[in-house]
Amino acid sequence: EDQVTQSPEALRLQEGESSSLNCSYTVSGLRGLFWYRQDPGKGPEFLFTLYSAGEKKEKERLKATLTKKESFLHITAPKPEDSATYLCAVQGVAAGKSTFGDGTTLTVKP
Amino acid sequence: DTAVSQTPKYLVTQMGNDKSIKCEQNLGHDTMYWYKQDSKKFLKIMFSYNNKELIINETVPNRFSPKSPDKAHLNLHINSLELGDSAVYFCASSQDPASGSPLHFGNGTRLTVT
């Protein structure tokens, strides 16, 4: 069964203080690893898809990387508006569905 | 022009009642899903439909019955509601799961059973 573990559970940063979120996974045949952002009272919003080890994607202050066992979401010089819960999910060939981690709740203080 | 919309946003009801949640997507996707998010933010798949056909049915009590009248709509009917059913239910759609397409979520329905 596909599994996703995210760490840390919560992360508090000062504005401008860069850091990384971790997503460790086990999957039988990776179709894709996904990062989503979820704001309170909203549905998860898609950020990135990574398909193979070594792949990198960037969007504004966010950069996602992928190895065969884990993915990192790097946040460079975060701003308060980056505060949200970040969810990682994997989709395996066998399962045919997305399996989510518990998420990392990021708080960026001004 | 919301991509995935669900109604109602909030649902408060008593134990034993029957309720429905509706979902519509205008993205032209073939696959739609119901996910349940518990109080700890964990998202778990319940059902998946591809072009009106049920393809994933996780271990969900029979009290939950999805219905897809067409590929743009997926509804969820819940019978005999229990306290443990309280959660946020998300509808989602994707273009082509077989090629690793991402999910597009609605904004959820917060169900509270008293």
Per the structure, the complete domain to which residue B11 belongs is given by 4-113
Does position A96 have pLDDT exceeding 80, yes or no?
no
CB distance B42–A102 less than 8 Å? Answer: yes
Q: Name residue B10's beta-bridge partners.
A: B110
| Average pLDDT of chain B, as a whole number | 93
The pLDDT tens digits for A37-61 are: 999 999 999 999 999 999 999 999 9
Phi, psi of A80 (to 5 degrees): -55, -30
Please report which confidence band the pLDDT of residue B11 belongs to, taking 50, 70 and 90 as the band edges.
very high
pLDDT of residue A107: 98
Query: Looking at the predicted structure, is the pLDDT value of residue A69 above 70?
Result: yes
- Kindly determine whether residue A98 and residue B106, on different chains, have CB atoms separated by under 8 Å: no
Q: What is the second-level CATH architecture of the domain A3-95?
A: Sandwich (2.60)
Give the residue from B38, B41, B110 with the most A CB atoms within 10 Å of its CB, the best one to mutate.
B41
Strands (E), B38-103: 43-50, 53-57, 64-70, 73-78, 87-94
The average pLDDT across B4-16 equals 97
Nearest to A35, CA basis, from A26, A24, A44, A43:
A44
pLDDT of A10 reads 97
Substitution target from A31, A91, A93, A99 for chain B, most B beta carbons within 10 A: A91
Q: What is the residue-averaged pLDDT of chain A?
A: 95
The Cα of A79 is separated from the nearest Cα of chain B by a number of Å equal to 23
For B15-64, what is each residue's pLDDT tens digit?
999 999 999 999 999 999 999 999 888 999 999 999 888 988 888 899 99
- In Å, what is the CA distance from A62 to each residue of A11, A14, A75, A86, B73? 15, 16, 5, 11, 33
pLDDT at A93: 86
Task: Write out the two tokens for B24.
Answer: 């519509």
Q: Are B49 and B31 in contact (CB under 8 A)?
A: yes
* CATH number for position B24: 2.60.40.10
Of A88, A50, A53, nearest in space to B43 by CA: A88
Which residue in A43, A85, A96 is closest to B105 by CB distance? A43
Q: Say if residue A94's pLDDT is above 80.
A: no
Helices (H) and strands (E) in chain A, counts: 0, 11
Whether B41 and A103 lie within 8 Å, measured CB to CB: yes
Q: Which residues contact B102 (CB under 8 A, 6 or more apart)?
A: A32, A34, A36, A46, A49, B94
Amino acid B1: pLDDT: 64
Spans of all domains in chain A: 3-95
Residue B80, CB-side half-sphere exposure with 13 Å CA sphere: 3
- What percentage of chain B carries pLDDT values higher than 70? 98
